[in-house]
Structure 1
Amino acid sequence: MSTDLTTRKRGKWLAALCLVPFALFFIAFQIAPLVWVAVHSVSVDDGWGLANFSKIFSSKFYLQAIKHSLQIAFWSSVIGIFIAILGSYSLHQVDSKLRDFVMAFSNMTSNFAGVPLAFAFVILLGFNGAVTLMLKQIGWIEDFNIYSKTGLIVVYSYFQIPLGVMLLFPAFDALRQDWRESAALLGAGSWQFWRFIGLPILTPALLGTFVILLANALGAYATVYALTTGNFNVLPIRIASMVSGDISLNPDMASALAMILVSLMVVVTIAHQWLLRRSYHVAR
Structure 2
Amino acid sequence: MARSGKKLGAWGAVLPLLGYCAVALGLPVWALIWEGIQAPDANGVNHFTFSNFTTSWHGVYLTGMLSSLRLSLLTAVISAVVGLVAAYAIAQSRGRLLKQAVLTASGVLANFGGIPLAFCFVATIGTGGVFLSWLNDAWPSFQLGTFDGLVVVYPYFLVPLMVLTTLPALDGLRRQWREAATNLGGSAWQYWRYVGGPLLLPAALGGFVLCFGASFAAYATARALSSGTVPLVTTQIASVLSGNVLATETNLGMALALNTIIVCGLMMAVYLPLRKRSAKWLES
Distance (whole Å) between structure 2 residues aligned to residue 207 and residue 120 of structure 1: 30
CA contact (8 A) 2:87 2:163 kept: yes
Match of 1:240 in 2: 238
AA aligned opposite 1:204: P
- Structure 2 residues without counterparts, runs of 5 or longer: 42-46, 279-284
TM-score (normalizing by structure 1):
0.85
Match of 2:12 in 1: 17
What's the CA shift string for 1:38-81, capped at 9, x where partnerless? 2222212352222112223331x111101110011111111111
Shift in CA distance, 80/251, structure 1 to aligned 2, threshold 3 Å: farther
AA aligned opposite 1:255: M
Match of 2:192 in 1: 194
The aligned runs of 1:1-284 (5 Å cut-off) are 5-6=1-2, 9-45=4-40, 47-59=47-59, 61-94=60-93, 95-129=95-129, 131-135=131-135, 139-245=137-243, 250-269=249-268
Distance (whole Å) between structure 1 residues aligned to residue 54 and residue 141 of structure 2: 39
How much does 1:211 deviate?
1.3
Distance (whole Å) between structure 2 residues aligned to residue 96 and residue 274 of structure 1: 30
Match of 2:282 in 1: none
CA contact (8 A) 2:206 2:274 kept: no
Shift in CA distance, 272/99, structure 1 to aligned 2, threshold 3 Å: closer
TM-score (normalizing by structure 2):
0.85
Distance (whole Å) between structure 2 residues aligned to residue 228 and residue 241 of structure 1: 13
CA contact (8 A) 2:135 2:142 kept: no
- Structure 1 residues without counterparts, runs of 5 or longer: 280-284
Distance (whole Å) between structure 2 residues aligned to residue 9 and residue 268 of structure 1: 35
Distance (whole Å) between structure 1 residues aligned to residue 276 and residue 186 of structure 2: 26
AA aligned opposite 2:71: I
How much does 1:273 deviate?
7.2
- Paired-residue identity, %: 31
Paired residues in the alignment total 271
